[in-house]
Chains A and B, each alone.
Chain A
């Protein structure tokens, strides 16, 4: 479904992704781990189409279509979802309104009626243990780190993507929140592909990855199964550098 071939990405003439290939099929969970600054968020942003990043060579295909042809919002409407490492706040825009509009934009003709929407929303918020007072707050404005991450997952559940890119969604979550957020991720993975960017084994205890990739300096240097994450947890990254 997602197929990245020999991708090179630069920002302001500095190359950050340096020849990266990755294939994700429907129903697969891929975890990417790697040091700070190795290019993980850049990869997620580029797949979603952030305008600051320039693809200098290589291709990204999504559902058989080259992504360069699609604007950011078209990628979202095509079923791609990015849970941001640092979600932006949008002052003055209420969460409830924002969610309703986003569901209408992304799901288009399949968008639920107002009543169904409220029902879905209520169910997901209960599952994520979010109080309904969130709906009248402004998007991410004054939210705690963990609250932001829950709102990201709430959006993911409502938008029902076929590819979810989750950038450090586990960071800043307390133990209970990690559990509810993981349940949320697990509820979509049977029918979606998922790319989990994380620093910690503990998320992978809840969400079982099919593949674990290690990213160093803009490249995937090693791929393995769940046991690789455990190995990294004990040994760090040094042993993987040439």
Chain B
């Protein structure tokens, strides 16, 4: 392995190594209108995109920081200390061997090429601001499936991007979506033609390597009528003592009868702010599923949303959050029933340990004309010690009385009797905790591709080690 392993790795986080920073282009820290224009110029973007960026930048500057959530942590973000663009490789390779060695080694260590060979329909690997590797299976390409990194998507299919970009999440949606729209770089662009079912998941892997890096990927997935796709993303970063900022925008569009599943296991190091806006529009009889796992980061604020716009559309949001020492997972789900006979299921599970805090923030809206809707919301929190914290902020706006709504919430502790039972079967206290925790997350884990599920279980077992005393 030629990539030098850093010495300043903190704690047990196993992805905390970093490579030397060999940037081919690195912008000075800090943000200005000129930086935004420079990014756009560097990428040779059409003028309309530059205009979108500049307008968004101005919105970002005008908008105040959120006044809800963990304001203490949010206000610690120093936007001037962030590097907004960093190019580490001059092109996006289609062949692993062409990827620069340091970067290739990183992704080798993260198991990406292996996973691609075994079970994926396509892969994008993004390193800092841009994709360094990209591939898609030939059979998918032949069926007309487009899967590119977003920069290439804009270059090659500007008319599709222009039609949909920012239609689900406008720049002005919130301060961080404005920021993303201004400085976005990388992310995935996917179009699945009518009636095409992409059987194997496609994966994007996001890696931040540099210190004080800002990663602003932008993803747009369009599933045309009657098609389906499963998109998986993973994220890690080195552990540094200074913060990095990850602020993505993800827009999903599921046309009539289409199905999009978007699975995430976010394992950022504990110095990353993860402030992400994710939202999908489901047209008639379409399904959007967010399977969202938050294990890492310092502060995550993320509430995957679905607009149920067409009659009979369905939303599924299954999320887990693990908040350890110094972490705040502020996650949840938003579902807007805008059309009749739409249905949704929300399951949120969180674990807090060692003073960590997890919050569930939910929004359920049923508009007056959306008759015959059904929704079920279940929130379960598991506290592993008395120092930890869990809170829920559910909001409901129900505009008609025909809605069938269920809401359940529970907060539980690991009982001595459960631990004793498992220990009486030969398991140490840490192992017993690991089993209970994995069991608690099982309704989420079983939705993941097997390789991810195994990895997640291993990760949580590691988290339980050395934690009991």
Contacts and interface: CB of A to CB of B under 8 A. Distances in A.
B423 A72 contact: yes
Contact of A88 (B417, B438, B442): B417
A79 B418 CA distance: 20
Contacts of B423: 49, 71-73, 76
Nearest to A158: B425
B441 A88 contact: no
B117 interface: no
A77 B418 contact: no
Contacts of B429: 71, 73
A50 B420 contact: yes
B427 A73 contact: yes
B442 A93 contact: yes
Interface in B417-439: 417-418, 420-429, 431-432, 435-436, 438-439
A77 B426 contact: yes
Interface string A175-205: 0000000000000000000000000000000
Interface string B321-339: 0000000000000000000
B34 interface: no
B76 interface: no
Contacts of B418: 88-90
B96 interface: no
Interface string A101-140: 1100110000000000000000000000000000000100
A80 to B, nearest CB: 8
B416 A52 contact: yes
Nearest to A88: B421
A64 interface: no
B113 interface: no
B425 A105 contact: yes
A48 to B, nearest CB: 5
B163 interface: no
B415 A88 contact: yes
B193 interface: no
B441 A92 contact: yes
B443 interface: yes
A84 interface: yes
A159 interface: yes
A169 interface: no
A138 B439 CA distance: 9
B426 A76 contact: yes
A82 B423 CA distance: 11
Identify which of B418, B431, B440, B443 gathers the most chain A CB atoms within 10 Å of its CB.
B418
B311 to A, nearest CB: 35
Nearest to B436: A90
A159 B427 CA distance: 13
Contacts of A90: 418, 421-422, 435-436, 439
A100 B438 CA distance: 16
B438 A93 contact: yes
Given A52-B416, A88-B421, A102 B441 contact: no
A81 B424 CA distance: 7
A155 interface: yes
A237 interface: no
A87 interface: yes
Contacts of B427: 73, 101-102, 105
B76 to A, nearest CB: 36
A76 B424 contact: yes
A172 interface: no
Contacts of B442: 91-93, 138
Contacts of A159: 425-426
B435 A71 contact: no
A102 to B, nearest CB: 4
A98 interface: yes
A138 B446 CA distance: 13
A66 B430 CA distance: 24
A106 B441 contact: no
A91 B424 contact: no
A105 B443 CA distance: 25
A91 B439 contact: yes
A199 to B, nearest CB: 22
Contacts of A73: 423-429, 431-432
Contacts of B416: 51-52
A106 B425 contact: yes
Nearest to A81: B424
A92 B415 CA distance: 15
Nearest to B349: A92
Nearest to B445: A92
A92 B420 contact: no
A82 B428 contact: no
A92 B417 contact: no
Identify which of A84, A92, A102, A159 gathers the most chain B CB atoms within 10 Å of its CB.
A92
A102 B417 contact: no
B418 to A, nearest CB: 5
A72 B436 contact: no
A154 to B, nearest CB: 12
Contact of B424 (A82, A86, A92, A98): A82
Interface string A60-83: 000000000001110111000110
B104 to A, nearest CB: 35
A48 B422 CA distance: 12
A142 to B, nearest CB: 14
Given A50-B420, A51-B416, A72-B420, A93 B428 contact: no
15 contacts: A73-B424, A73-B432, A76-B426, A84-B424, A88-B417, A90-B435, A91-B442, A92-B440, A93-B435, A93-B442, A101-B427, A106-B426, A138-B439, A138-B442, A159-B425
Question: Which 3 residue pairs spanning A and B have beta carbons closest together?
Answer: A92-B439, A92-B442, A105-B426
Given A48-B420, A73-B429, 15 more contacts: A45-B420, A48-B424, A71-B423, A72-B424, A73-B427, A73-B432, A82-B424, A90-B418, A90-B421, A93-B436, A93-B438, A101-B427, A105-B425, A105-B426, A159-B426
